[in-house]
Amino acid sequence: MASRPGRTRVGKYELGRTLGEGNFAKVKFARNSETNENVAIKILDKEKVLKHKMIGQSSKGRLKEDEARKYFQQLICAVDYCHSRGVFHRDLKPENLLLDASGVLKVSDFGLSALPQQVRGDGLLHTTCGTPNYVAPEVIHNKGYDGGKADLWSCGVILFVLMAGFLPFEESNLVTLYKKISKADFTCPPWFSSSAKKLIMRILDPNPATRITIAEVIENEWFKKGYVPPRFEQPNISLDDVDAIFGEAMDSQNLVVERREEVPAAPITMNAFELISTSQGLNLSSLFEKQMGLVKRQTRFTSKCSANEIISRIEQASMPLGFEVKKNNYKIFEVAPSLYMVELRKAGGDTLEFHKFYKSLSTGLKDIVWKAEPIDEETDGASAST
């Protein structure tokens, strides 16, 4: 494949536009000139890395307990402050913690954070996101979660890492990793004090309903040792102009929402958690829940047609079968660019009837569908839904 004129090349990769930029690196869009595959490449500023002595920052290993407690106290205060304003970080990890010139901890990278307007009617968040080793069990379960409790779990993992020098949950296989997280299957090193162990065990409680709260953490005896409550200074400046500029942007219609159900047939890009959970061989639900004998019957197919065309074809194929199509809370997942996955799920009715319905429907959709075999599951109910 010929290289485009004027484009910078790094080895076999042809660099394009800048996707993101930080203090020490840029992320650029790139294309493999041999395979035409699209990738993202992170480019580090070598001079800045050397100047700020970042190469040796990971060589110290674990912190002493008093030092780890000091940073943990600052972390809890910062996270508590965010929660008091209705902001949930959702990606807390050591890589997102910075120290200023005075050694004061700062929380950074709020790219995955959620605001009050993103909480659904059930009072929970529903987007599965974060870094796998630090994510709370309830986030993986994909049934809704309290952002504050999930953030606190991540803080507990961070405390463990600061004191141990390694992760409490670390596996090369994601399924095994999630299974350990779900059961809080970890062991504290022998150099942890008994009071530190007790606190970590209460934070890394896989049941969010019984997990310790931030208010209780602040009252914990281990936490309170040497603790100085923070003073949040109010800058003596007027924010009227800033508020005026961002006033329109903060309108609820302009916020990034968890999932706005009334959006027309636009595809939802699947993240790694969702893609894994929809793979038959990697379905994680059996790892986290006792089977109650009441599960939904579902099948999936993929298509390269547009989302609107898929919905239109489903309507066309259903009507000759005597069905009235009602569009309600449907989702089409974009697995890859121009490749969409549709999940057809039985909301109720007889399992055999659902099988007959899907067989007839798939015949009418055969021109646009790469058909997957139905999953044999048992349930009671009545009607089908996408």
39's tokens: 């990738």
Of 189, 206, 224, which residue sits at a domain end?
224
Task: Specify if 71 maps to a domain.
Answer: yes
Task: Specify if 247 maps to a domain.
Answer: no
Same domain, 369 and 297: yes
d(CA 18, CA 5): 18
Of 196, 224, 252, which residue sits at a domain end?
224
For each of the chain's 386 residues, which pLDDT tens digit applies? 455 556 778 888 888 888 777 666 778 888 888 888 888 887 777 666 555 544 444 756 789 999 999 999 999 999 999 999 899 999 999 989 998 888 899 999 888 888 877 777 777 888 888 888 999 999 988 789 999 999 999 999 999 999 999 999 998 888 899 999 999 999 999 999 999 999 999 999 999 999 999 999 999 999 999 998 887 666 565 555 555 544 544 454 444 444 444 444 555 555 555 555 555 444 444 444 444 333 345 677 778 787 788 888 888 887 777 777 777 666 666 666 667 777 776 666 666 667 677 777 777 777 776 544 444 444 333 344 45
Q: How far is CA 164 from CA 61, 62, 189, in A?
A: 8, 5, 7
Give the CA angle between residues 286, 288, 294 to the nearest 5°: 50
Domain CATH number, residue 349: 3.30.310.80
Q: What is the DSSP string of 337-373?
A: TTEEEEEEEEEES-HHHHHHHHHHHHHHTTTT-EEPP
Q: Which of 80, 91, 146, 205 is catalytic?
A: 91
Same domain, 193 and 71: yes
Residue 46 structural domain: 9-57
Same domain, 323 and 363: yes
Alpha-helix residue ranges (DSSP H) falling in 146-271: 147-164, 174-183, 194-203, 214-218, 221-224, 240-247
42 annotated among ligand-binding-site residues: yes
Same domain, 155 and 188: yes
267's tokens: 């595809």
> β-pairing, 383-385 with 268-269?
unpaired
Task: Specify if 367 maps to a domain.
Answer: yes
Confirm whether 350 is a catalytic residue: no
